[in-house]
Amino acid sequence: MGWLSRGRAAAMAGRWAGATAVAALALGAAAVSAQEWPARPITLIVPFPPGGTTDIFARTIAEHMRPALGQSIVVENKPGAAGNLGVAAATRAHPDGYTIVLGSVGTQSVNQFLYGNIGFNPATDLVPLGMIASTPNVMAVAANSPWRNLEDVMKAVKKDPGKFSYASPGIGSSVHLTGAYFESMAGLQMLHVPFKGSSAAIPAVIGGQVDILMDNLPSSMGALKAGDRLRGIAVTSAERSPAAPDLPTMAEAGLPGFEVTAWSGLYAPRGTPAPVVDKLIAAMKLALKSPDLQKSLAQGGATPGNMFGPDLAAFEVKERDKWGKLIRDSGIKAD
């Protein structure tokens, strides 16, 4: 029995040694893989149609990250379900760093409160890399409106609750929520009139069918700059926008603490190796310092992002708390 026990012990030791060697080889291969990454082009899923502001921002950051990574980033548009379709597809991708995805304030902080099942958990299924840019929304009225500032708007709306209306480019959009947030903070009651995009909402306000426009600033810049179509009242960001420096912020104009931005960022699927995540973040940081990229974003009315990794994750928590409460309290539901 002693000889048999010693034989078994030797065999078991051999198996453990073999298993340890295999594990070591696997870990070594993973380390080498992370060191060599990227060895081929990276796919960036954009969950919105091509040609929009968010898509343009994605293509801009992708181009400027290429030199640092030594590989191209190929944009793949997968629109549908308010962005949920494309982001959900990204969470199912192999977490090897060769698939990343663009997330927005909608997909990361709003949609889960509007839809029954968005197909992913934004808090746990994705690794935040960094914010690409943030864009203010804007409140505007027709150029011939008697309202010239935020005080005029609030005074009129408070006098006749429910009489006045505001247009947005769709139910559940960041712009719609900006209007609802304005009502909540100012203690006002207005009628929300959703349109299929800014191109339909802007003419309705200019023509007097709707009293107030809530819109993404880039979408309204043409009509605002024309001067004879729209009159800007205020932007919703914490600071004035370089694209419209004469417009006060909502806080400056009479609503302290009011801050809303439409923002977008890059994310990797959960389980992406930490060294790969670090390389992606480093490439983003370098890209966002590029004067050419900053100029491109500024032309679109946007401010370059300055939050990466854990900082972006913490910001998202605050955004979910804000929008989740507003949606529950207001009873807003998606179509």
Class for the domain spanning 40-135+261-330 = alpha beta
Q: Give the tens place of pLDDT for each residue, 198-227.
A: 889 999 999 999 999 999 998 888 899 888
Please report which confidence band the pLDDT of residue 296 belongs to, taking 50, 70 and 90 as the band edges: confident
Residues 57 and 298: beta-carbon distance below 8 Å:
no
**Bond before 38 cis per omega within 30 degrees:** yes
Tell me what the mean pLDDT of segment 65-85 comes to: 95
Kindly list the domain boundaries of the chain, sorted by start residue. 40-135+261-330, 136-253
Flag whether pLDDT at 32 surpasses 50: no
Model confidence at 315, pLDDT cuts 50, 70, 90, reads very high
Q: Does pLDDT of 258 surpass 70?
A: yes
| pLDDT at residue 280 greater than cutoff 50 | yes
Determine the pLDDT at residue 15. 55
3-state secondary structure of 270: coil
Residue 300 has what pLDDT?
Answer: 78
H-only helix segments in the chain: 2-36, 53-69, 84-91, 105, 111-114, 150-159, 174-186, 198-206, 217-226, 250-253, 274-288, 291-299, 310-330
pLDDT for 218: 86
Instruction: Report the chain's mean pLDDT, rounded to a whole number.
Output: 89
User: Fold identical between 40-135+261-330 and 136-253?
Assistant: yes
In which band, very low, low, confident or very high, does the pLDDT at 52 lie, cut at 50, 70 and 90?
A: confident
Give the pLDDT of residue 105: 95
Q: Which CATH number fits the domain 136-253, given the four candidates 1.10.260.40, 3.40.190.10, 3.40.800.20, 3.40.50.2020?
A: 3.40.190.10
- Judged against a pLDDT cut of 90, whether residue 13 lies above it is answered with no
pLDDT in tens, 113-126: 998 789 999 999 99
Q: What is the pLDDT of residue 138?
A: 95
Task: Give the C-alpha separation, 50 to 148, whole Å.
Answer: 36
